């Protein structure tokens, strides 16, 4: 059986979505995208773009028409903010995608979830797919993504095969999320963060995440027994947060050392910030929050055995190789080399940066 002939990528103009579209086009798959705004990058790739919002069922239907597979990648992401906008995009939007897939005879759907759907107070160490959703999510984003993932997995049937991928902290060239957040936290040569940064954290390179999506797509299309399941997708190289963050900054030409502030102090500030946001009706999605503080001070790394076994998944780029690529783009490999000499980039559980 050949692969899908025509694939819709929702959110194809985004960071991960563009890379997925690039790979689909590169192997000769007719690729269309549903985005809210036009993308010159997708124009250059020859991707047909449908403009619209996930919450608009008619717009979703127009984009789905004629497709035999969907990679549902679009989402509202953030660490703060009220539930309503997250719910509209991530939950209602996913319902619309599933409904239109059924209405238009789409046979396979790959959903871009997030490892944060199972994150809880105290963090997670070597968590696998048996880890349940927490009784209480720490923010609207992981809550809405967990609800949407549950919809996708329940929708799996003989007519529509579905699978959910859970990448974590996607980074790489032109990263619009992770690097800007780290850069905002840097003050001169200090990276101001709560805690010591010894908590182990997993990340996912952009090419690794896109590679996993195409593996899942092909296995679903061939009818292999991966449908109705969720899979963690990471580099498989958990690293102490302080080391990971300083290396990532160094790869982009910024030399900054981890500078610890008391976690309790930052947690208190986050509590105050969230209360103020509720009172003022703020909808900002990337401000200080208790969810963010918990992620900065506790472990979150995952067992990717299931993805290796069922999807044939192996990260196509290593953590240090990805860093060296960024350093080459930035034109300052010397800064990264200095940082690598001081920091252990990948460590066994419980290890800390030197």
The catalytic residues are 141
Q: What span, in angstroms and rounded, lies between the C-alpha atoms of 304 and 129?
A: 9
Specify the DSSP element, H or E, that contains 278.
helix 263-280
Instruction: For CA atoms 172, 245, 79, 288, give the dihedral sign.
Output: negative
What is the residue whose two structure tokens read 């070597």?
126
Rg of the chain over all Cα atoms, to the nearest angstrom: 20
Instruction: Please report how the helices 15-26 and 206-221 are oriented relative to each other, as an axis angle in degrees rounded to 10.
Output: 50
CB 28 within 8 A of CB 49: no
HSE value, Cβ hemisphere, 13 Å, CA-based, for 54: 25
Q: What span, in angstroms and rounded, lies between the C-alpha atoms of 123 and 112?
A: 21
Q: Retrieve residue 38's tokens.
A: 């036009």
* Residue 18: partners with Cβ closer than 8 Å, 6 or more residues away: 12, 39, 41, 42, 45
């Amino acid at each position: 059986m050949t692969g899908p002939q025509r694939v819709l990528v929702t959110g194809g103009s985004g960071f991960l979505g563009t890379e997925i579209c690039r790979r689909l086009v590169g192997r000769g798959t007719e690729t269309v995208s549903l985005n809210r705004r036009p993308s010159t990058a997708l124009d250059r790739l020859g991707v047909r773009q449908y403009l619209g919002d996930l919450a608009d069922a008619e717009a979703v239907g127009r984009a789905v028409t004629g497709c035999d597979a969907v990679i549902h990648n679009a989402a509202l992401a953030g660490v703060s903010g009220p539930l309503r906008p997250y719910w509209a995009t991530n939950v209602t939007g996913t319902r619309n995608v599933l409904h239109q897939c059924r209405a238009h005879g789409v046979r396979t759907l790959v959903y871009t979830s997030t490892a944060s759907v199972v994150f809880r107070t105290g963090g997670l160490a070597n968590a696998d797919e048996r880890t349940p959703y927490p009784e209480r999510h720490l923010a609207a984003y992981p809550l809405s993504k967990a609800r949407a993932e549950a919809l996708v997995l329940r929708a799996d049937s003989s007519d529509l095969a579905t699978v959910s991928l859970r990448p974590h902290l996607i980074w790489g060239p032109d990263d619009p999320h992770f690097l800007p957040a780290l850069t905002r936290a840097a003050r001169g040569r200090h990276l101001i963060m709560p805690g010591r940064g010894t908590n182990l954290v997993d990340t996912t390179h952009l090419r690794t995440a896109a590679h996993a999506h195409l593996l899942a797509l092909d296995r679903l299309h061939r009818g292999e027994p991966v449908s109705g399941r969720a899979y963690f997708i990471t580099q498989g190289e958990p690293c102490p947060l302080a080391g990971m963050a300083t290396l990532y900054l160094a790869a982009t030409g910024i030399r900054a050392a981890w500078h610890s502030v008391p976690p309790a102090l930052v947690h208190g500030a986050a509590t105050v910030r969230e209360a103020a946001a509720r009172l003022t009706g703020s909808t900002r999605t990337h401000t200080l929050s208790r969810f963010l503080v918990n992620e900065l001070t506790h472990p979150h790394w995952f067992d990717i055995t299931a993805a290796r076994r069922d999807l044939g998944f192996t990260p196509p780029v290593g953590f240090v190789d990805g860093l060296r690529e960024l350093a080459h783009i930035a034109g300052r490999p010397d800064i990264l080399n200095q940082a690598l000499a001081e920091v252990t980039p990948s460590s066994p559980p419980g290890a800390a940066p030197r």
